Amino acid sequence: MKKVLIPTKLDSVATDVLKNNGGYVVVQDAKTPIEDLAKAHPDAYALIVRSEKVTAELIDSLPDLRVIVRAGAGFDTIDTKHARKRGVDVMNTPGANANAVAEEVIALILADARFIIPADASTRRGEWEKKAFMGRELTGKTIGIVGLGNIGRLVAKRLKGFECRLLGFDPLVPGDRVREYGIEPVTLDELFRESDIVTLHIPGGEGTKNLIGRNLLALMKTGATLVNCARAGIIDEAALREIKAAKKLRLLNDVYPKDEPGPKPIADIADIMLPHLGASTHEANFVAAERAARELIDLDEKGVATYIVNRDIPEGLDKTYCELAYILSRVTRELSGRSLPITMIETSFYGQLEPYANWLLVPILSGIWEDFDRYNDYKAAAAFIKEMGIDYVNRAIEPEKGFANSITIDLIVEQADNQLKRTSVRGTVAEGVLMVSRINEFDHLYFVPHGSTLFFLYDDRPGVIATISRKLADAGFNIEDIRNPHDTRTNRSLAIFKLYQPVAETLVAEIGREIKAHSAMCVML
């Protein structure tokens, strides 16, 4: 019998499922601190937790521990790296809370539109302020949904009953798939300009930090509402403070830098604040608990590893090539246009990498989508691509090309004019250093994809490199490295400048205009 500790207030269905299986003895105790519970049961085989911190010390105190299951999506409270060192698998239950969050969004919108919270307080005081609480109807409004993952799509589905016009932005979902959801695909600017209510459903992190900034907020209609049940840090709070009063914007918020008591930095600009209640429903608790138990059973009995978030690297695969796959996909995504929806991904794995094609797809997807975890497995990767409506082809390699231990990634994206554009990048590892060897028609590059890198595509002619160098020098930039390949068929050149610091978009655009570039961009790698 394997002992499972559940040191949290989790629905009893997890205990029931495990006990009914017959192979587990379950200790569920939400009152005893997790450290004390571990000391009392050092023979525990598995832990099922919610937001409890699972530290390296706690893991070390359980010598027989082999599995930790997070009954929920996020697992930043678990020391996954130390768990891997100890041979402990960490799993999660993504999507279990999606419906709860989607319904919370609807609840916030309705509560704000009809002044439910202040009207309740007023009436309890014995007042009768009907005129003060003249509300707004949701029916017929234009709702903008930023991010069309599980939660964003469920929000759209729930809103259809209100006969709303739905606008959606997700650069990773093809336009045809967006329309299948009953949503009009638009640019982010269009969404903020036309929506009465904007709701955010995108991951946090550096890629989306302050994404909703001054420019987008200034586009919003007077009196429009912004809902954030996604992640703290997505909204530029300083910009919102500047614009909110003048445009009479509303902010409905359920996310914070830390889930803990105390003052909240957004309190002065939030019209409704909730203590991160998105997943706090009996139903979500039940689903997460049941899935946690069944995932543990499936792992033990069937070897199903789909939800392991700290997988080790397969034997025989150099970890450097995992990083190469990740970096190449980031480069390809940036060069193809991060705001353009992907319709197809094509890959080629040469040399000794061919047997690891399925495994390497995972870091490729995580380089394209920040919220796709690098510890997922191929089954999860394939399911993710299918859900996004994107075609994936792993091409049969041609050994005679001689690309030993190389990776090629092609992204086909849908442009604004509905035309498709292909971007192809190949790379390898030389003496332990990651190299980009080809970008589209430009071969033999061998530049190191690291730090701030400028790319300019232009019609080949003398003096262009000098012009770019002069503009950068005048702005105080020191150049670390330059690559400047030419293509005689198209008479085009690609200028690649590696710098020590990022370059403002305005300067990149200015240089692009001066050299009449077909494309100009700065990529941070």
pLDDT given for residue 314 in this prediction: 75
One-letter amino acid for residue 186 of the chain:
V
Q: Is residue 65 part of a domain?
A: yes
Give the confidence band of 157 by pLDDT, cuts at 50, 70, 90: very high
For 94, the token pair is 């993504």
Least-confidence region, from 127-141, 146-160, 301-315, 323-337:
301-315
Closest CA to 278 of 439, 166, 155: 155
Q: Which residues of 33-59 are buried (b: 16+ CB within 10 A; e: fewer)?
A: ebeebbeebeebbbbbbbebebeeebb
As a whole number of Å, the end-to-end CA separation of the chain is 48
What pLDDT is attached to residue 175? 83
What proportion of the chain, given as a percentage, has pLDDT over 70?
Answer: 99
Contact in structure between 149 and 201 (CB atoms under 8 Å): yes
Other beta carbons within 10 Å of 316: 8
Q: Are strands 407-414 and 67-70 parallel, antiparallel or unpaired?
A: unpaired
How many domains would you assign to the chain?
4
- The CATH number of residue 151's host domain is 3.40.50.720
- 351: which residues sit within 8 A by CB, 6+ positions away? 403, 404, 405, 406
Residue 250 shares a structural domain with residue 229: yes
124 shares its domain with 82: no
State whether 121 and 234 are in the same domain. yes
Using 50, 70 and 90 to split pLDDT, how confident is the model at 402?
A: low
* CATH code at position 323: 3.30.1330
Q: Look over the chain and give the mean of its residue pLDDT values, rounded to a whole number.
A: 91
Res 208 pLDDT > 90: no
- pLDDT beyond 90 at 311: no
Q: How would residue 512 be classed by pLDDT, with cut points 50, 70 and 90?
A: very high
The per-residue pLDDT for 450 is 84
The answer to whether residue 211 is domain-embedded is yes
Residues 91 and 105 in one domain: no
Q: Is residue 71 located within the same domain as residue 134? A: no
Let me know whether 187 and 87 are in one domain. Answer: no
Domain that holds residue 148: 98-273
Name the residue with higher pLDDT: 415 or 484. Answer: 484
In sequence order, what E strands does 284-419 have?
A: 342-349, 391-394, 407-414
Tokens 């590696």 correspond to what residue? 498
With a cut of 90, say whether residue 171 has pLDDT above it: no
What is the per-residue pLDDT for 11?
A: 93
My answer on whether 117 and 225 are in the same domain is yes
Return the CATH number at 484.
3.30.70.260
pLDDT tens digits, one per residue of 406-429? 999 999 998 877 788 999 999 998
d(CA 372, CA 203): 10
466-482: pLDDT as tens digits: 999 999 999 999 898 89
pLDDT tens-digit map of 373-383: 776 778 888 88
For residue 393, with 0-12 CB atoms within 10 Å meaning exposed, 13-18 middle and 19 or more buried, which class applies? Answer: exposed
pLDDT of residue 205: 72
Residue type, 166: L
